[in-house]
Chains A and B, each alone.
Chain A
Amino acid sequence: MKIVVCIKQVPDTTEIKIDPKTGTLIREGVPSIMNPDDKGGLEMALQLKEENGAHITVITMGPPQADLILREAFAMGADRAIHLSDRKFAGADTLATSSALAGALRKLDFDLLITGRQAIDGDTAQVGPQIAEHLDLPQVSYLEDLKFDGDKTFTMKRHIEDGYQMLEVEAPCVVTVISSANTPRYMSVGGIVDAYQKEVEVWGFNEIDVDEADLGLKGSPTSVYKAFARGLKPAGELYEVSTDEAVGIIIKKMKEKFIL
């Protein structure tokens, strides 16, 4: 089985602070990490590899420093890494990003394409489904679990708001994975030693199959009108009480605030 996993380097938003004066993110000193949902996707691929045998390619689009997460993927057990990096890709919104990734994926042969559900910086959850549309492949989003029958059928467990769905899908297909699906493994020490001996393939516009007009700023219909920091709310109050007491407290609070 051939698996491709799309991964993205993101700022570790748990470490991000907002400048109270300007309302902008303080990026300085914030570590860059592999997006958690994507890491869950890579872990799912690695488990499939262990169970069924597979060749795993990871692919990312991003600036040169994104090389780090590809090395991390190698150290976790990925077999091949492709870095999409070209000035023509710069300034891309989700649509132009998915166009570039789809352009690269047209050059690759795969049975399963895994992406994370969404990235913790943009939180759009659009790129995975858009890739599936570009490539005209079946897609299953919010995946919790996946099993392969050894031939061409995947059995999938999809997380939905009030439960889950079980689905059967034939390869090739696209799935988006949620980080709660698994606990990603640590990089192995030996894997880290090897990670920088392996080659990361850098692909530019000439290496992929896509219309230039669909790329970068030109290919991005989204433009940011305004960005602002959400006002800080005071911390909530937590009560561990019985339901009856809880109702009493809520009514009292609502009366205090003249809601009732």
Chain B
Amino acid sequence: MNFSLTKEQELFQQMIRDFAENEVKPIAAEVDEQERFPAETVEKMGKIGILGIPIPKQYGGAGGDNLMYSIAVEELSAVCGTTGVIVSAHTSLCAAPILEHGTEEQKQKYLPKLASGEWLGAFGLTEPNAGTDAAGQQTTAIEDGDNYIINGSKIFITNAGYAHVYVIFAMTDRSKGTRGITAFIIEKDTPGFSFGKKEKKMGIRGSATCELIFENCVLPKTNMLGKLNKGFGIAMKTLDGGRIGIAAQALGIAQGAIDETVKYVKERKQFGRAISAFQNTQFQLADMNTKTEASRMLVRKAAYKKDNKIAYSVDAAMAKLYAAETAMEVTNKAVQLHGGYGYTREYPIERMMRDAKITEIYEGTSEVQKMVISANMLK
């Protein structure tokens, strides 16, 4: 049993921290305020390999692992939740399923450009009537010679519009329910594929969240990801991995809020002394830090298991459930410790609280995580 990072992971963490501090933190407030997608950060991340961390070198990736990837999402999210989810959706929800389920040709075609950041990735499963009940897919893919004709729409798609590659799901056999869903890879400029309205969100406001619209969109059969009618399994497996990313995002947001709060309570004086001298502050900080550290252990355990090819689905669900709820609780307390200043946009704390909330919702709500965890206990 070893709870220490390796030297390689420590060096990596140091690099990511420097990058987050120098390239991401300075624009985080502006990106939120303007609801601006930070394309320049994406380019910089691509250049040094942050967009291809767990992709093997043979496909142009960095050849790192999921633990490193979770560290990256954590450190980026500590200063900017938006940047954290851009990396998470790109890596876990687009590059990972292509790596795991793609043909050699698909891997050669997509992974090098995804790893370098030339192409950003996205994932489309959710529909207006298929949220938590992902099996209720309305989007259809009808076979037509060497092609499939896709019709339907997807909503709340992270990175939509900026991403070039989309892993999407459609019904190929409606009579079979979840066993009639197939995954496809679709590129941005495909005729019949367009984008709908951009959502106005509470948090992670710099990340692009849009509708995907398919109107008689013709897709060659070679764009099918995995086997016919095996899409639901691919989606669920992909979301297992995605939960490590979102758990790491939640963890980072919590840690970022703690870092800001520790700085603030030492400076802020009331009743003639720093508010860090009050036991209420000390006890709140102790709770915040303990839960955040517990989240980190869960995130790293899930990543470790994935890296070592041990079943990690329940671990990822626990990590996401606990880290997301911790992020919400910690940022809420952090705003309270900041008092009135914490409620203003002069400080990053209110942004962190808004960013935290989504981690309890997307890539499986907290309730879904509880279903996954308890189902495993009661089977």
Q: Which residues of B contact A (CB under 8 A)?
A: 6-8, 11-12, 14-15, 18-19, 48-50, 52-53, 57, 61-64, 68, 72
Contact = CB atoms under 8 A, between A and B. Distances in A.
A228 to B, nearest CB: 28
- Interface majority SS (helix, strand, loop, mixed), chain B: helix
Interface in A232-259: none
B86 to A, nearest CB: 16
B48 A189 contact: yes
A190 B8 contact: no
Contacts of B52: 189-190
Interface string A181-196: 0000111111111111
Given A186-B15, A186-B18, A186-B19, A193 B48 contact: no
A196 B8 contact: yes
Closest 9 CB pairs between A and B? A189-B49, A189-B62, A190-B62, A187-B15, A196-B8, A188-B49, A188-B48, A186-B48, A193-B63
A202 to B, nearest CB: 16
Given A192-B15, A193-B63, A193-B64, A187 B8 contact: no
A72 B49 CA distance: 15
Interface in A31-78: 31, 68, 71-72, 75
Given A71-B7, A195-B8, A196-B7, A190 B15 contact: no
B50 to A, nearest CB: 6
B12 A192 contact: yes
B8 A189 contact: no
A191 B11 CA distance: 11
A32 B113 CA distance: 35
Interface residue range, chain A: 10 to 19
Contacts of B14: 31
B53 A187 contact: no
A68 B49 contact: no
Contacts of B72: 189
A185 B11 CA distance: 15
Contacts of A31: 14
A189 B7 contact: no
Contacts of B6: 196
Contacts of A68: 7, 11
Interface of A: 31, 68, 71-72, 75, 185-196
B9 to A, nearest CB: 9
Contacts of B68: 189
B62 A75 contact: no
B62 A188 contact: yes
Contacts of B19: 186
A189 B53 contact: yes
Contacts of A71: 7, 11
A196 B5 CA distance: 14
B60 to A, nearest CB: 9
A44 to B, nearest CB: 19
20 contacts: A68-B11, A71-B7, A71-B11, A75-B11, A75-B15, A187-B11, A187-B48, A188-B62, A189-B12, A189-B49, A189-B68, A190-B49, A190-B52, A192-B11, A192-B15, A193-B57, A193-B62, A193-B63, A194-B63, A195-B11
Contacts of A193: 8, 57, 62-64
Contacts of A186: 15, 18-19, 48
Contacts of B50: 189
Most buried by A among B12, B14, B15, B63: B15
Contacts of A187: 11, 15, 48
A260 to B, nearest CB: 38
Contacts of A194: 63
Nearest to A67: B7
Most buried by A among B19, B48, B72: B48
A185 B62 CA distance: 16
Contacts of B15: 75, 186-187, 189, 192
B81 to A, nearest CB: 21
A76 B180 CA distance: 48
Most buried by B among A187, A191, A193: A193
Contacts of B18: 186
A49 B53 CA distance: 25
Given A189-B48, A193-B8, A196-B6, 6 more contacts: A185-B48, A187-B15, A189-B52, A189-B53, A190-B61, A192-B11
